Amino acid sequence: MLRVRRRSPVFYQNVWGFAFAVPALLLLIVFSVYPVLNALYIGFTSWSLSGTPEFIGLDNYITMFVRDPEFLRSLRTTAIYAVGLNPIMWAIALALALLFNQEMRMRGVFRTIFFTPVVVSWVVASMVWYLIFHRSFGLNAHIMRFFGQPGIKLLEDSQYALLAIIVLSLWKSMGYYMVLFLAGLQNISRVFYEAADVDGANSWQRFWHITLPLLMPATLFVMVISIINSFQVFTPIYLLTRGGPHGATRVLPMLIYENAFLFLKMGYASAMAMILFVILMALTLLQLRVFRSDVG
Amino acid sequence: MSTAVSADRDSEPAANAVDRQEKPAASGRGILGKAALYAVLLLGSAIMLLPLIWMVSTASKPIEETIIPEFRLIPGEFLLPENLVKAFQRVPMILYFRNSVIVTAAVTAGRVLLCALAGYSFAKFTYRGRDLLFALVLSTMMIPFYVVVIPLYIVVYQLGWLNNLIALIVPGLVTAFGVFLLRQFMMGVPSELIDAARIDGASEPRTFLTIVLPLTKPALVTLAIFTFMSTWDDYVWPLLVITRQDLLTVPLGLAAFTQEYITYYNELMAAALIGMAPTFLVFLIFQREFVEGVSLSGIKG
């Protein structure tokens, strides 16, 4: 652009074109690109937000894996949450999507009902489920009274608290993945099913040999997105248990939040966020690899 | 792209094909199977709706009735309006609404405009470094929020924006996904139309406003709906940067209400109902666009 010669009108058009992108680019650089690079750097420092960051090399990473049992524990808690939630959510979402992909009466009504919780915010969902889980007045109490028992301490017992959060998350998120599966199903051309009809395939064969393989891109997308999302669960845990009781629901985002914004250990929390990033990237690549080789 | 909801309208020709396919299976399954299927669906729907029904029920009860031992879904007295008024008196809900409206309106308008400009730039112009810059935008798309939250907080802190609504607006003005989505749609705008406008003497900004924006309206609407809903419901980022009582947004206000007055279940639920009303209305009005948006994205609902 610095060459000196007569400019064509097209040149000036493209100067305008570049100018159109500048505001968005500046904002993304300041609020996305720079923070990522900075997070990497802060992870190698000790910093309490006041003063200057002190470079301490790999110390944060060593602390995480050697000196601080809370980190590995929260990794395990997050993994249990993800494993407890996702497979059952995929199964229900896929089953409903298959069902709603067929012609049936009241399809639109049912589909809307199963999708509705997606529109409820995490804050409102947590408030509502707090009432449901309440052991004296909640639905929990009413159901248990039917069996002649007192309400279960769902949120107050470390045995059940994570399970309660999983149930809430399942209710809130399932419809979202159902819609992603439905979109995938509707991208499968009818031609394949017509060909299968000609060959006399039964409905199980059609599902196994046409629907499932052709749905693979959507399935992969659902798996990647849902796992990324479940490693970032925060609001219901923050509002309902604060990571308790006794750390039973202290997932990684909760631990990062505590270290950064309660203990002001910015360096240590950043290092943990980097590990979260690495885990999510690794999981995504692993899934892409496993399922790509499955298809191809 | 055919999607979940639009299928209702688009699938007329396909519907026959489905009928033909499903007939043998349906008659084989019989009426009993069908009844069982609907029974399961009804039960599932009840489970999905029960929390929301319980919410409306609690929001309508007198306070004594929220803590009685017996199960009562229909309130003895319908006190929803009264409970709402009490909730609005107990906490400054009107203030929370004002803050949320300011933030959500600014973010939605700004994001649609800036993402459209950048999307147009990447789709319809050629300049040195364009592809590199677009790759830079794409590379930020998959970054998890918790990876950037600490440095982002530090940026906002150093700018002196803590406890200022601007901290909720400016970082949200552009998303990589928004740029990407609108670029894809702008690619579909015929270049001949843009050139024709230029030949007629329209300036570049004018061409953008009068030709490009109207032609990409569906995509702009989709982005606007998503931005509106996610910004209205956002909790984590506002939790970090806003602590002043008079600057709380609706989700922050509801959470604060819960922590301070946890025993006023009926008022809490009434406030929550009003707090979620805007997103719910937008969802009901734009259901088709919203569901389409979900299926062509990966953004959280």
Q: Give the tens place of pLDDT for each residue, A72-102.
A: 999 999 999 999 999 999 999 999 999 998 8
* A73 and A107 assigned to the same domain: yes
| Highest mean pLDDT, choosing among A192-196, A289-293, B158-162 | B158-162
* A181 and A230 assigned to the same domain: yes
The β-bridge partners of A45 are: A55
For residue A215, how many other CB atoms are within 10 A of its CB?
20
For residues B212-223, average pLDDT = 91
Q: Say if A152 falls within a structural domain.
A: no
Which chain A residues contact residue B41 at CB under 8 A? Answer: 99, 110
The DSSP secondary structure of A249-284, one letter per residue, reads T--HHHHHHIIIIIS--HHHHHHHHHHHHHHHHHHH
* A204 and A97 assigned to the same domain: yes
Which chain B residues contact residue A49 at CB under 8 A? Answer: 154, 157
**What is residue B6's predicted lDDT score, i.e. its pLDDT?**
37
Q: Say if B96 falls within a structural domain.
A: yes
How far apart are alpha carbons A157 and B254 in whole angstroms?
A: 25
* B75 and B99 assigned to the same domain: no
**What is residue B297's predicted lDDT score, i.e. its pLDDT?**
60
Q: Say if A162 falls within a structural domain.
A: no
- pLDDT tens by residue, A18-77: 999 999 999 999 999 999 999 999 999 999 888 888 899 899 999 999 999 999 999 999
* B95 and B73 assigned to the same domain: no
Q: Say if B161 falls within a structural domain.
A: yes
* B127 and B229 assigned to the same domain: yes
Q: Say if B280 falls within a structural domain.
A: no
* B71 and B99 assigned to the same domain: no
B140–A20: do the CB atoms touch at under 8 Å?
no
* B65 and B152 assigned to the same domain: no
* A65 and A31 assigned to the same domain: no
* B96 and B198 assigned to the same domain: yes
Question: Does residue B248 register a pLDDT over 90?
Answer: yes
Displacement of CA B141 from its chain's centroid (Å) = 18
Which residue, of B25, B49, B79, is where some domain finishes? B79
Residues 223-252 of A with CB under 8 A from B: 225, 228-229, 231-232, 234-235, 238-239, 252
Mean pLDDT lowest among A104-118, A146-160, B247-261: A146-160
* A25 and A68 assigned to the same domain: no
Share of chain B above pLDDT 70, in %: 88
* B128 and B205 assigned to the same domain: yes
**What is residue A188's predicted lDDT score, i.e. its pLDDT?**
84
Residues B117, B118, B121, B127: what is their CA dihedral angle, to the nearest 10 degrees?
140
Mean pLDDT lowest among A160-169, B60-69, B291-300: B291-300
The residue segments making up the domain with residue B52 are: 16-79
By C-alpha distance, the chain B residue nearest A218 is: B295
Residue B265 one-letter amino acid: Y
For residues B33-60, average pLDDT = 91
* B122 and B177 assigned to the same domain: yes
Question: Does residue B4 register a pLDDT over 70?
Answer: no
What is the average pLDDT value for chain A, to the nearest integer? 89
Question: Does residue B148 register a pLDDT over 50?
Answer: yes
Question: Does residue B17 register a pLDDT over 60?
Answer: no
- pLDDT tens by residue, A194-235: 888 888 888 888 888 888 888 888 888 899 889 999 999 999
Q: Say if A54 falls within a structural domain.
A: no
A132–B235: do the CB atoms touch at under 8 Å?
no
* B38 and B106 assigned to the same domain: no
A169 vs B61, higher pLDDT: A169
Q: Say if A92 falls within a structural domain.
A: yes
Which chain A residues contact residue B49 at CB under 8 A? Answer: 113, 116
* A13 and A99 assigned to the same domain: no
* A14 and A66 assigned to the same domain: no
Mean pLDDT lowest among A70-79, A271-280, B74-83: B74-83
The DSSP secondary structure of B200-246, one letter per residue, reads TT--HHHHIIIIIHHHTHHHHHHHHHHHHHHHHH--HHHHHH---GG
**What is residue B18's predicted lDDT score, i.e. its pLDDT?**
43
Q: How many domains does chain A have?
A: 2
Q: Which two tokens stand for residue A258?
A: 């505590």
For residues B176-190, average pLDDT = 91
Helix, strand, coil content of chain B in percent (nearest 5) = 75, 0, 25
Q: Say if B234 falls within a structural domain.
A: yes
Instruction: Report the CATH number at residue B181.
Output: 1.10.3720.10
ipTM of the complex: 0.88
Q: Say if A143 falls within a structural domain.
A: no
Question: Does residue A150 register a pLDDT over 70?
Answer: yes
**What is residue B229's predicted lDDT score, i.e. its pLDDT?**
92
* A106 and A28 assigned to the same domain: no
- State the best of A2, A29, A32, A118 to mutate against chain B, taking most chain B CBs within 10 Å: A32
Q: How many domains does chain B have?
A: 2
Q: Say if B183 falls within a structural domain.
A: yes
Q: Say if A101 falls within a structural domain.
A: yes
How far apart are alpha carbons B157 and B148 in whole angstroms?
A: 14
* A217 and A279 assigned to the same domain: yes
The residue segments making up the domain with residue A63 are: 59-120+173-295
Q: At B296, is the pLDDT very low, low, confident or very high (cuts 50, 70, 90)?
A: low
Instruction: Report the CATH number at residue A231.
Output: 1.10.3720.10
Q: Say if B44 falls within a structural domain.
A: yes
**What is residue B97's predicted lDDT score, i.e. its pLDDT?**
95
**What is residue B16's predicted lDDT score, i.e. its pLDDT?**
41
Q: Say if B276 falls within a structural domain.
A: no
Question: Does residue A130 register a pLDDT over 50?
Answer: yes
A234–B236: do the CB atoms touch at under 8 Å?
yes
Residue A3 one-letter amino acid: R
* B65 and B121 assigned to the same domain: no
* B159 and B64 assigned to the same domain: no
What is the average pLDDT value for chain B, to the nearest integer? 85
Helix, strand, coil content of chain A in percent (nearest 5) = 75, 0, 25
* B205 and B139 assigned to the same domain: yes
Question: Does residue B13 register a pLDDT over 80?
Answer: no
Picking from A1, A24, A121, the nearest residue to B179 by CB comes out as: A24
Which chain B residues contact residue A38 at CB under 8 A? Answer: 151, 154
Q: Say if B58 falls within a structural domain.
A: yes
Q: Say if A183 falls within a structural domain.
A: yes
